[in-house]
Structure 1
Amino acid sequence: MTETLSPLPLIELAPQAFAAVHALHGAVEQAAAAAGLEPLLLELVRLRCSQVNGCTYCVGLHTGAAREAGESDQRLEALAAWRTSGVLFTDRERAALALAEAVTRLPDHAEGERAQRAARAVLSDAEAAFVAWAATVVNTYNRIAVSSRPVAAVGL
């Protein structure tokens, strides 16, 4: 019989580390706003990274936040397939999503450079940097959430 392990309590065991991640999130939010990045664009970035990482908790969280910020159900439903969604996403959004995916997936150097070049063609350097920072932070949150959920213990 397969026994279910209790979640790994990352936050409870290291609250200072989690507080540092949360502080980083706040610093990135403030700097991104100062650089001119729209809050909804950052929410789409967070949601897409969470989809790529398979973090159910964060997908739900960021879908709700995007809806609250005024995002349409049509665009939310199409986000996972944004590359083939036609004109649903602006060039700016497409560039930010591609850069966020590159930060999340850590592609080979050439692919990462293409994503960065495309982003910097429609975003300022500061905006592109804060899209990358937002992706980095949400990837950290995703890994905390995914690692903290119960997993089946094989052979125990």
Structure 2
Amino acid sequence: MTLRFNYRIENPESFNTLIKLEGFMSKSGLDKKLYELIKIRASQINGCAFCLDMHTKDLLKMGETTQRINLISVWHEANDIFTEKEKVVLELTEAVTLISNKGVPEELYQKVREFFTEKEYVDLIMAINTINSWNRMAISTGMFPECF
């Protein structure tokens, strides 16, 4: 695989815009481990090897176990490996990433609201949107692990 081009150099404003989204997320108060779970699950769905490589390493540095990281893609079947709160976040990540399939059903919204306020719900959506933007930029420009 070859990198098509470095969008960071060719269009630095696009990169800076994504960095601003990350800055917004860092100020949101969203738990950093939850955010990494979102990043990994969305990147799995989207098939972004660059982002998967980066965020699994980041989560390992935060003290996460390899078992939990390895089971993110099959969280539905992982029984007690993930908390109910984490499962809701992973389910929301799937729904928003695959929004055209069925949107965000009311039942899921109500499950999310058991753990998160309306402001936090918006923060979760912004987190999911942010990683989806990064994924789409990376995939579209041919990024792959350690391409820089």
Smaller-chain TM-score range? 0.7 to 0.9
TM-score by length of 1: 0.83
Matches within 5 A, 1:94-113: 94-106=87-99, 107-109=101-103, 111-113=104-106
TM-score, normalised by the number of residues in structure 2: 0.87
Aligned Cα root-mean-square deviation (Å) = 1.8
**1:92 and 2:89 equivalent?**
no
Distance apart, 1:12 and its partner CA: 2.5
24, 28, 43: which one aligns with 1:27: 24
**Structure 2 runs not aligned, ≥5 long:** 144-148
When Rg is computed on C-alpha atoms for both structures, the one with the higher figure is: 1
- Give the residue type in structure 1 aligned to 2:24: A
2:46 aligns with 53
Q: 1:112 to 1:29 in 2, by over 3 A?
A: farther
Residue 8 of structure 1 deviates from its aligned partner by: 4.4
1:148–1:96 distance in 2 versus 1, CA, 3 Å: same
Deviation of residue 115 (structure 1)? 2.5
- Provide the rounded CA distance (Å) in 2 between the counterparts of 1:132 and 1:98: 12
Is the 2:41–2:94 Cα contact (8 Å) retained in structure 1?
yes
User: Which residue of 2 is the match for residue 153 of structure 1?
Assistant: none
Q: What are the residue-to-residue correspondences of 1:137-152 with 2, within 5 Å?
A: 137-149=130-142
How far apart are the structure 2 equivalents of 1:61 and 1:148?
Answer: 17
2:73 equivalent to 1:80: yes
Mark the CA change 1:113 to 1:7 in structure 2 (over 3 Å): closer, same or farther.
farther
2:114 alignment partner, SS class: helix
- CA shift in 2, pair 1:43/1:145, >3 Å: same
The reply on whether 1:134 has 2:131 as its aligned counterpart is no
Query: Which residue is equivalent to 2:33?
Result: 40
> 1:41 corresponds to which letter in structure 2?
L
Q: 3-state DSSP class of the match of 2:80?
A: coil
Counterpart of 1:10 in structure 2: which amino acid? Y
Q: Comparing 118-127 with 16-25, which one deviates more in the overlay?
A: 118-127
